Amino acid sequence: KTELAKIDPLHMDEKAMEHAGRLIAEGELVAFPTETVYGLGGDALHPEAAKKIYAAKGRPSDNPLIVHIAEFSDLERIAKEVPEQARKLADAFWPGPLTMIVWKNDSVPYATTGGMDTVAVRMPNHPVALELIRKSGCLIAAPSANTSGRPSPTEAAHVAEDLEGKIAMILDGGPVKIGIESTIVDLTEKTPMILRPGYITPQMLSEVLGEPVEIDPGIIAADDTRKPKAPGMKYKHYAPKADLVLVDGAKDAVIAKINELAGEKKKAGKKVAVIATEETRNAYQADVILCIGSRMDEDSIAQHLYKILRDCDELEVDAIYSESFVTPRIGQAIMNRLLKAAGHQVIHV
Ligand code: TXA
Ligand code: MG
Protein backbone atom coordinates (compact mmCIF):
# COMPACT_ATOMS: atom_id res chain seq x y z
CA LYS A 1 0.00 0.00 0.00
CA THR A 2 2.93 2.32 0.64
CA GLU A 3 4.52 3.58 -2.60
CA LEU A 4 8.29 3.59 -2.67
CA ALA A 5 10.23 5.90 -5.01
CA LYS A 6 14.00 6.10 -5.33
CA ILE A 7 14.96 9.73 -5.92
CA ASP A 8 18.45 10.75 -7.00
CA PRO A 9 18.90 14.09 -5.20
CA LEU A 10 21.04 15.39 -8.07
CA HIS A 11 18.58 14.38 -10.82
CA MET A 12 15.17 14.35 -9.23
CA ASP A 13 12.39 12.44 -10.94
CA GLU A 14 10.00 15.30 -11.74
CA LYS A 15 6.92 13.08 -12.04
CA ALA A 16 7.53 11.25 -8.75
CA MET A 17 8.16 14.55 -6.93
CA GLU A 18 4.98 16.07 -8.34
CA HIS A 19 3.04 13.00 -7.29
CA ALA A 20 4.52 13.15 -3.77
CA GLY A 21 3.70 16.86 -3.53
CA ARG A 22 0.12 16.19 -4.59
CA LEU A 23 -0.25 13.50 -1.92
CA ILE A 24 0.82 16.01 0.76
CA ALA A 25 -1.59 18.63 -0.61
CA GLU A 26 -4.40 16.04 -0.47
CA GLY A 27 -3.70 15.43 3.22
CA GLU A 28 -1.71 12.19 2.87
CA LEU A 29 1.64 11.38 4.52
CA VAL A 30 4.96 11.13 2.65
CA ALA A 31 8.31 10.20 4.25
CA PHE A 32 11.31 12.07 2.85
CA PRO A 33 15.05 12.46 3.43
CA THR A 34 16.57 15.49 5.12
CA GLU A 35 20.23 16.08 5.97
CA THR A 36 19.63 15.03 9.61
CA VAL A 37 17.20 12.06 9.62
CA TYR A 38 14.19 11.00 7.51
CA GLY A 39 11.00 12.94 8.22
CA LEU A 40 7.34 11.89 8.07
CA GLY A 41 5.61 14.77 6.28
CA GLY A 42 2.07 16.07 6.17
CA ASP A 43 0.39 19.44 5.51
CA ALA A 44 1.39 21.56 8.53
CA LEU A 45 -1.64 23.85 8.35
CA HIS A 46 -4.15 21.02 8.16
CA PRO A 47 -5.11 19.53 11.55
CA GLU A 48 -6.22 16.22 10.02
CA ALA A 49 -2.75 15.65 8.54
CA ALA A 50 -1.16 16.22 11.95
CA LYS A 51 -3.56 13.68 13.47
CA LYS A 52 -2.55 11.14 10.82
CA ILE A 53 1.12 11.70 11.68
CA TYR A 54 0.53 11.00 15.38
CA ALA A 55 -1.45 7.89 14.53
CA ALA A 56 1.16 6.48 12.10
CA LYS A 57 4.00 6.99 14.58
CA GLY A 58 2.04 5.92 17.63
CA ARG A 59 3.15 9.21 19.14
CA PRO A 60 1.43 11.09 21.97
CA SER A 61 -0.39 14.05 20.45
CA ASP A 62 0.95 16.51 23.04
CA ASN A 63 4.37 16.20 21.40
CA PRO A 64 4.61 19.06 18.86
CA LEU A 65 5.82 18.69 15.26
CA ILE A 66 8.49 20.69 13.44
CA VAL A 67 7.23 22.74 10.48
CA HIS A 68 9.56 22.47 7.47
CA ILE A 69 9.76 25.45 5.13
CA ALA A 70 11.54 26.21 1.85
CA GLU A 71 11.74 30.04 1.97
CA PHE A 72 12.49 32.43 4.80
CA SER A 73 9.23 34.25 4.00
CA ASP A 74 7.38 31.06 5.03
CA LEU A 75 8.51 31.80 8.58
CA GLU A 76 6.81 35.19 8.37
CA ARG A 77 3.62 33.40 7.30
CA ILE A 78 3.36 31.34 10.48
CA ALA A 79 5.18 33.32 13.19
CA LYS A 80 3.44 35.95 15.29
CA GLU A 81 6.57 38.00 14.86
CA VAL A 82 10.01 37.14 13.53
CA PRO A 83 12.67 37.96 16.12
CA GLU A 84 15.87 39.60 14.94
CA GLN A 85 17.75 36.58 16.27
CA ALA A 86 15.84 34.34 13.84
CA ARG A 87 17.01 36.45 10.89
CA LYS A 88 20.61 36.22 12.00
CA LEU A 89 20.44 32.47 12.60
CA ALA A 90 18.63 31.82 9.33
CA ASP A 91 21.28 33.81 7.44
CA ALA A 92 24.00 31.72 9.02
CA PHE A 93 22.47 28.25 9.23
CA TRP A 94 19.43 27.86 6.90
CA PRO A 95 18.94 25.69 5.03
CA GLY A 96 20.48 23.46 7.68
CA PRO A 97 20.16 21.37 10.85
CA LEU A 98 18.72 24.11 13.08
CA THR A 99 15.13 24.33 14.35
CA MET A 100 13.91 27.60 15.86
CA ILE A 101 10.98 27.97 18.26
CA VAL A 102 8.96 31.18 17.82
CA TRP A 103 5.48 32.36 18.81
CA LYS A 104 2.92 31.02 16.33
CA ASN A 105 0.10 32.93 14.66
CA ASP A 106 -3.46 31.72 14.07
CA SER A 107 -2.67 29.99 10.78
CA VAL A 108 -0.91 27.16 12.62
CA PRO A 109 -3.37 24.65 14.10
CA TYR A 110 -2.91 23.45 17.68
CA ALA A 111 -2.91 19.90 16.32
CA THR A 112 0.50 20.66 14.76
CA THR A 113 1.96 22.33 17.87
CA GLY A 114 0.60 19.83 20.37
CA GLY A 115 -1.52 22.56 21.91
CA MET A 116 1.36 25.01 22.34
CA ASP A 117 1.32 28.71 21.37
CA THR A 118 4.79 28.36 19.92
CA VAL A 119 5.88 26.64 16.73
CA ALA A 120 9.12 24.87 15.77
CA VAL A 121 10.39 25.80 12.30
CA ARG A 122 13.24 24.47 10.18
CA MET A 123 14.49 24.85 6.60
CA PRO A 124 16.12 21.50 5.79
CA ASN A 125 19.26 21.34 3.68
CA HIS A 126 18.28 18.56 1.32
CA PRO A 127 17.18 18.98 -2.32
CA VAL A 128 14.46 16.32 -2.05
CA ALA A 129 12.97 17.87 1.10
CA LEU A 130 12.98 21.38 -0.37
CA GLU A 131 11.50 20.19 -3.66
CA LEU A 132 8.75 18.28 -1.85
CA ILE A 133 7.79 21.42 0.07
CA ARG A 134 7.70 23.48 -3.14
CA LYS A 135 5.81 20.89 -5.17
CA SER A 136 3.19 20.44 -2.43
CA GLY A 137 2.60 24.16 -2.11
CA CYS A 138 2.34 23.47 1.62
CA LEU A 139 4.46 23.89 4.69
CA ILE A 140 5.32 20.39 5.85
CA ALA A 141 4.98 19.22 9.45
CA ALA A 142 7.43 16.40 9.99
CA PRO A 143 8.65 14.46 12.98
CA SER A 144 11.34 11.84 12.48
CA ALA A 145 9.86 9.00 10.39
CA ASN A 146 10.17 6.24 13.00
CA THR A 147 7.69 4.50 15.24
CA SER A 148 7.64 6.40 18.52
CA GLY A 149 10.37 5.02 20.82
CA ARG A 150 12.53 3.51 18.05
CA PRO A 151 15.77 5.10 16.79
CA SER A 152 15.28 7.82 14.17
CA PRO A 153 15.62 6.55 10.58
CA THR A 154 18.80 7.40 8.71
CA GLU A 155 17.90 5.43 5.56
CA ALA A 156 14.67 4.68 3.71
CA ALA A 157 14.76 1.01 4.75
CA HIS A 158 14.42 2.08 8.41
CA VAL A 159 11.31 4.06 7.50
CA ALA A 160 9.83 1.07 5.70
CA GLU A 161 10.60 -1.17 8.71
CA ASP A 162 8.51 1.07 10.95
CA LEU A 163 5.85 2.62 8.71
CA GLU A 164 5.25 0.38 5.69
CA GLY A 165 1.51 0.08 5.09
CA LYS A 166 0.75 3.05 7.34
CA ILE A 167 1.67 5.97 5.04
CA ALA A 168 1.10 6.85 1.38
CA MET A 169 4.67 7.12 0.12
CA ILE A 170 8.38 6.90 0.98
CA LEU A 171 10.93 8.95 -0.99
CA ASP A 172 14.27 7.14 -0.86
CA GLY A 173 17.06 9.66 -1.27
CA GLY A 174 19.78 7.41 0.12
CA PRO A 175 21.43 7.52 3.55
CA VAL A 176 21.40 10.88 5.36
CA LYS A 177 24.52 12.99 5.94
CA ILE A 178 24.35 13.97 9.60
CA GLY A 179 22.46 11.15 11.31
CA ILE A 180 21.16 12.94 14.42
CA GLU A 181 18.21 15.33 14.63
CA SER A 182 18.50 19.12 14.31
CA THR A 183 19.57 21.42 17.11
CA ILE A 184 16.48 23.08 18.61
CA VAL A 185 16.81 26.66 19.89
CA ASP A 186 13.97 28.43 21.68
CA LEU A 187 13.77 32.13 20.75
CA THR A 188 10.66 32.96 22.76
CA GLU A 189 12.49 33.99 25.94
CA LYS A 190 15.02 36.71 26.65
CA THR A 191 18.00 34.40 26.35
CA PRO A 192 18.02 31.87 23.51
CA MET A 193 17.91 28.36 24.94
CA ILE A 194 18.93 25.08 23.37
CA LEU A 195 16.21 22.49 23.92
CA ARG A 196 17.93 19.69 21.96
CA PRO A 197 21.65 19.52 21.12
CA GLY A 198 22.64 18.75 17.54
CA TYR A 199 25.16 19.39 14.81
CA ILE A 200 24.92 23.18 15.31
CA THR A 201 26.63 23.74 18.66
CA PRO A 202 25.95 26.36 21.39
CA GLN A 203 29.26 28.02 20.45
CA MET A 204 28.20 28.35 16.80
CA LEU A 205 24.89 29.92 17.84
CA SER A 206 26.28 32.41 20.31
CA GLU A 207 28.98 33.46 17.89
CA VAL A 208 26.37 34.42 15.28
CA LEU A 209 23.99 35.98 17.81
CA GLY A 210 26.70 37.90 19.64
CA GLU A 211 25.13 36.87 22.95
CA PRO A 212 25.29 33.89 25.30
CA VAL A 213 23.04 30.89 24.69
CA GLU A 214 21.67 28.73 27.51
CA ILE A 215 21.24 24.97 27.47
CA ASP A 216 18.03 23.54 28.93
CA PRO A 217 19.22 21.81 32.14
CA GLY A 218 16.48 19.21 31.61
CA ILE A 219 18.27 17.70 28.63
CA ILE A 220 21.44 16.80 30.52
CA ALA A 221 19.94 15.80 33.86
CA ALA A 222 20.12 12.07 34.49
CA ASP A 223 16.98 12.03 36.62
CA ASP A 224 13.44 13.25 36.08
CA THR A 225 13.61 16.09 38.58
CA ARG A 226 13.90 18.69 35.84
CA LYS A 227 11.35 18.61 33.09
CA PRO A 228 12.79 19.25 29.61
CA LYS A 229 11.20 22.17 27.77
CA ALA A 230 10.83 20.30 24.48
CA PRO A 231 7.96 17.92 25.22
CA GLY A 232 9.51 15.19 23.06
CA MET A 233 12.68 15.08 25.12
CA LYS A 234 10.87 13.69 28.15
CA TYR A 235 9.81 10.47 26.48
CA LYS A 236 11.99 7.41 26.65
CA HIS A 237 13.71 7.36 23.27
CA TYR A 238 15.83 5.12 21.14
CA ALA A 239 15.96 2.36 23.70
CA PRO A 240 17.29 -0.87 22.22
CA LYS A 241 15.59 -4.07 23.41
CA ALA A 242 18.77 -5.25 25.17
CA ASP A 243 20.19 -3.53 28.22
CA LEU A 244 22.74 -0.91 27.11
CA VAL A 245 25.51 0.27 29.44
CA LEU A 246 28.08 2.98 28.62
CA VAL A 247 31.64 2.78 29.91
CA ASP A 248 33.52 6.06 30.19
CA GLY A 249 37.18 6.71 30.94
CA ALA A 250 40.67 6.38 29.48
CA LYS A 251 40.91 4.13 26.42
CA ASP A 252 42.74 1.16 27.94
CA ALA A 253 40.68 1.18 31.13
CA VAL A 254 37.47 1.21 29.08
CA ILE A 255 38.60 -1.73 26.97
CA ALA A 256 39.58 -3.74 30.04
CA LYS A 257 36.28 -2.99 31.82
CA ILE A 258 34.11 -3.83 28.82
CA ASN A 259 35.96 -7.09 28.24
CA GLU A 260 35.54 -7.99 31.91
CA LEU A 261 31.79 -7.26 31.86
CA ALA A 262 31.29 -9.00 28.51
CA GLY A 263 33.16 -12.04 29.86
CA GLU A 264 30.88 -12.25 32.89
CA LYS A 265 27.75 -12.09 30.74
CA LYS A 266 29.11 -14.70 28.39
CA LYS A 267 29.74 -17.06 31.33
CA ALA A 268 26.11 -16.55 32.30
CA GLY A 269 25.14 -17.72 28.81
CA LYS A 270 24.22 -14.29 27.43
CA LYS A 271 24.85 -12.93 23.95
CA VAL A 272 26.86 -9.70 24.14
CA ALA A 273 27.45 -6.84 21.70
CA VAL A 274 30.12 -4.14 22.03
CA ILE A 275 29.88 -0.73 20.36
CA ALA A 276 33.47 0.11 19.46
CA THR A 277 35.42 2.46 17.18
CA GLU A 278 37.91 1.91 14.35
CA GLU A 279 40.63 2.56 16.90
CA THR A 280 39.51 -0.12 19.38
CA ARG A 281 37.45 -2.71 17.50
CA ASN A 282 40.21 -5.33 17.54
CA ALA A 283 40.71 -5.08 21.29
CA TYR A 284 37.35 -6.59 22.31
CA GLN A 285 36.13 -10.12 22.92
CA ALA A 286 32.35 -10.37 22.47
CA ASP A 287 29.76 -12.14 20.31
CA VAL A 288 29.26 -9.07 18.15
CA ILE A 289 31.54 -6.06 17.73
CA LEU A 290 29.79 -3.10 16.10
CA CYS A 291 32.05 -0.36 14.79
CA ILE A 292 30.32 3.01 15.05
CA GLY A 293 33.01 5.10 13.31
CA SER A 294 36.36 6.68 13.91
CA ARG A 295 37.37 8.95 16.77
CA MET A 296 39.32 10.93 14.19
CA ASP A 297 36.03 11.75 12.45
CA GLU A 298 33.27 12.50 14.95
CA ASP A 299 30.76 13.07 12.14
CA SER A 300 31.06 9.38 11.27
CA ILE A 301 30.00 8.48 14.82
CA ALA A 302 26.85 10.60 14.59
CA GLN A 303 26.11 9.18 11.14
CA HIS A 304 26.08 5.54 12.29
CA LEU A 305 24.62 5.87 15.79
CA TYR A 306 20.97 5.10 15.02
CA LYS A 307 21.73 2.38 12.51
CA ILE A 308 23.86 0.61 15.12
CA LEU A 309 21.08 0.81 17.71
CA ARG A 310 18.70 -0.74 15.16
CA ASP A 311 21.28 -3.44 14.41
CA CYS A 312 21.43 -4.34 18.11
CA ASP A 313 17.71 -5.14 18.03
CA GLU A 314 18.06 -7.18 14.89
CA LEU A 315 20.96 -9.24 16.29
CA GLU A 316 18.87 -10.15 19.34
CA VAL A 317 21.67 -9.69 21.84
CA ASP A 318 21.03 -9.72 25.60
CA ALA A 319 23.48 -7.02 26.65
CA ILE A 320 25.29 -4.14 24.94
CA TYR A 321 28.37 -2.31 26.20
CA SER A 322 29.42 0.91 24.50
CA GLU A 323 32.31 3.29 24.68
CA SER A 324 31.27 6.88 25.36
CA PHE A 325 31.90 9.78 23.01
CA VAL A 326 32.67 13.06 24.64
CA THR A 327 34.05 14.31 21.35
CA PRO A 328 34.94 17.99 20.98
CA ARG A 329 32.17 19.42 18.80
CA ILE A 330 29.05 17.32 18.48
CA GLY A 331 29.96 15.02 21.38
CA GLN A 332 27.24 16.55 23.52
CA ALA A 333 24.63 15.78 20.88
CA ILE A 334 25.85 12.22 20.43
CA MET A 335 25.99 11.55 24.18
CA ASN A 336 22.51 13.05 24.66
CA ARG A 337 21.11 10.30 22.39
CA LEU A 338 23.32 7.53 23.70
CA LEU A 339 22.61 8.33 27.36
CA LYS A 340 18.89 8.12 26.68
CA ALA A 341 19.30 4.84 24.85
CA ALA A 342 21.20 3.55 27.89
CA GLY A 343 18.65 4.87 30.36
CA HIS A 344 21.61 6.82 31.81
CA GLN A 345 23.51 3.70 32.88
CA VAL A 346 27.16 4.77 32.84
CA ILE A 347 30.16 3.12 34.46
CA HIS A 348 33.13 5.43 35.03
CA VAL A 349 36.53 3.75 35.10
O1 TXA B 1 16.23 16.96 12.35
C2 TXA B 1 15.06 17.06 12.70
O3 TXA B 1 14.65 17.99 13.44
C4 TXA B 1 14.06 15.99 12.22
C5 TXA B 1 13.91 16.14 10.70
C6 TXA B 1 12.85 15.26 10.13
O7 TXA B 1 13.69 17.48 10.36
N8 TXA B 1 12.79 16.11 12.88
C9 TXA B 1 12.62 15.75 14.18
O10 TXA B 1 11.31 15.87 14.64
O11 TXA B 1 13.51 15.34 14.89
P12 TXA B 1 10.77 15.19 15.97
O13 TXA B 1 9.31 15.42 15.96
O14 TXA B 1 11.23 13.79 16.04
O15 TXA B 1 11.37 16.03 17.13
C16 TXA B 1 10.86 17.33 17.36
C17 TXA B 1 11.21 17.80 18.75
C18 TXA B 1 10.41 17.10 19.82
O19 TXA B 1 11.24 16.82 20.92
C20 TXA B 1 9.38 18.17 20.19
O21 TXA B 1 8.93 18.05 21.49
C22 TXA B 1 10.16 19.46 19.96
O23 TXA B 1 10.91 19.19 18.82
N24 TXA B 1 9.28 20.60 19.66
C25 TXA B 1 8.52 20.79 18.56
N26 TXA B 1 7.80 21.92 18.66
C27 TXA B 1 8.12 22.47 19.84
C28 TXA B 1 7.69 23.66 20.54
N29 TXA B 1 6.80 24.48 20.02
N30 TXA B 1 8.24 23.90 21.75
C31 TXA B 1 9.15 23.07 22.29
N32 TXA B 1 9.58 21.94 21.68
C33 TXA B 1 9.07 21.63 20.49
MG1 MG C 1 11.88 11.99 16.77
Q: Walk across the sheet containing 214-215 and list its strands.
A: 3-6, 169-172, 30-32, 39-43, 140-141, 66-68, 118-122, 98-103, 183-186, 193-196, 214-215
The mean pLDDT of 138-165, rounded to a whole number, is: 96
Q: Is 314 exposed, middle or buried (0-12, 13-18, 19+ CB in 10 A)?
A: exposed
Q: How many helices and strands in the chain, by DSSP H and E?
A: 11, 16
Q: Ligand 1, from 184, 227, 306: best to mutate by most atoms within 8 Å of Cβ? A: 184
Quote the distance between the C-alpha of residue 270 and its chain's center.
Answer: 31
Which residues does ligand 1 sit against, CB inside 6 Å?
Answer: 34, 36-37, 39, 63-66, 99, 101, 113, 116, 118-120, 122, 124, 142-144, 181-182, 184, 195, 229-233
The mean pLDDT of 110-122, rounded to a whole number, is: 97
pLDDT above 90 (res 229): no
CA distance 65 to 87: 21
Smallest-distance ligand from the CA of 184? 1
pLDDT above 60 (res 223): no
More confident residue, 61 or 130: 130
Residues above pLDDT 70, as percent of the chain: 96
Contacts of 190 (CB under 8 A, 6+ apart): none
Q: Is 28 exposed, middle or buried (0-12, 13-18, 19+ CB in 10 A)?
A: middle
- Binding residue ranges for ATP: 59, 63, 118, 144, 152, 196, 238
Smallest-distance ligand from the CA of 63? 1
More confident residue, 218 or 36: 36
Supply the pLDDT for residue 61: 83
CA distance 80 to 198: 26
Residues above pLDDT 90, as percent of the chain: 87
| CB distance 316 to 190 below 8 Å | no
Q: Ligand 1, from 181, 186, 237, 306: best to mutate by most atoms within 8 Å of Cβ? A: 181
| CB distance 12 to 24 below 8 Å | no
Q: How far is the CA of 279 from the centre of ligand 2 (A)?
A: 30
More confident residue, 224 or 118: 118
pLDDT band at 239 (very low <50, low <70, confident <90, very high): confident
pLDDT band at 66 (very low <50, low <70, confident <90, very high): very high
Supply the pLDDT for residue 329: 83
| CB distance 154 to 37 below 8 Å | yes
Supply the pLDDT for residue 328: 75
CA distance 42 to 21: 10
pLDDT above 80 (res 235): no
- Least trusted range by pLDDT, from 70-84, 222-236, 251-265, 306-320: 222-236
The mean pLDDT of 239-244, rounded to a whole number, is: 88
Q: Which residues surround ligand 2, an ion (CB under 5 A)?
A: 144
At position 129, the amino acid (one-letter code) is A
